[in-house]
Amino acid sequence: MPRSTRLFEIIQILRHADGPVTAQEIGDALEVAKRTIYRDIAALQAMRLPIDGEAGIGYVMQPGYDLPPLMFTQDEMEAIVVGLALLGRIGDRGLERAARHATTKISDVLPDAGTRTAPLRVSKWNNIPNPKIEASALRKFIRDNAELTITYVDLKDRRTTRDIKPIALIYYIDAVLLAAWCELRQAFRHFRIDRIEDCSPSGRNFCDLSETLVKGWEHENKLP
């Protein structure tokens, strides 16, 4: 998580807390060491944010602090609300949680956004089987350009072990596919993530090939 994002998250945690929050609690929520939180709190206080407290006791945000407003038209706001709600259809629990948090943040800084009361509702129905490998883990492997070794079972129940370079996730109403360069086939392949039985990083990355692979995959699949 970039430091700027972490600082914003600390502000959000303190703004919504009912009482003092310790550095350990904040660190656990953001998956960083409490020493990092001590440094971040000091940095925020140096920027004159009204944060009171000390190590071992906890921190509170003084009442009245608010984030600067965002500027969206009503149509833009409704587009964001519907787009975030549609994430409930894709079966990616990590993105669903992120969408809920994003909606809360938008509501906090847009007093008249209507994100909670807008007459817009989205069905969360999908027919996506539960995967053994979380989509959030696959998204991180894609971001990190991490080569993977997977055990895959195809539609004829044939099991193979593949070394792959993952490049994208594709969300359909009935499945989520992992697009990757497959070393076994020496070609781009698409794997249903609910049929990946095991997945582990090989310890290698393909940062130098990432852009070339993405462009090749997009060209092969006639993507803009």
Does 169 map to a domain?
A: yes
Output the domain CATH number for residue 140.
Answer: 2.30.30
pLDDT at residue 199, rounded to an integer = 97
Structural domain span for residue 45: 3-61
Whether the CB-CB separation of 69 and 109 falls below 8 Å is answered with yes
Look at residues 112, 45, 53 and name the one whose alpha carbon lies nearest to residue 78.
112
Output the CA angle 218-160-142, nearest 5 degrees: 35
Does 193 map to a domain?
A: yes
pLDDT tens digits, 111-158: 555 444 456 677 777 888 889 999 999 999 999 999 999 999 999 999
Whether the CB-CB separation of 107 and 84 falls below 8 Å is answered with no
pLDDT tens digits, 42-72: 999 988 888 998 888 899 988 877 666 555 6
Does 109 map to a domain?
A: no
Of 13, 43, 61, the residue that ends a domain is 61
Does 72 map to a domain?
A: no
Does 180 map to a domain?
A: yes
Residue 199 to residue 178: CA distance in whole angstroms:
12
- 200, 128, 101, 82: CA torsion to nearest 10: 140
Does 87 map to a domain?
A: no
Does 28 map to a domain?
A: yes
Does 70 map to a domain?
A: no
Domains contained in the chain, number:
2
Determine the 3-state secondary structure of 129 from DSSP: coil
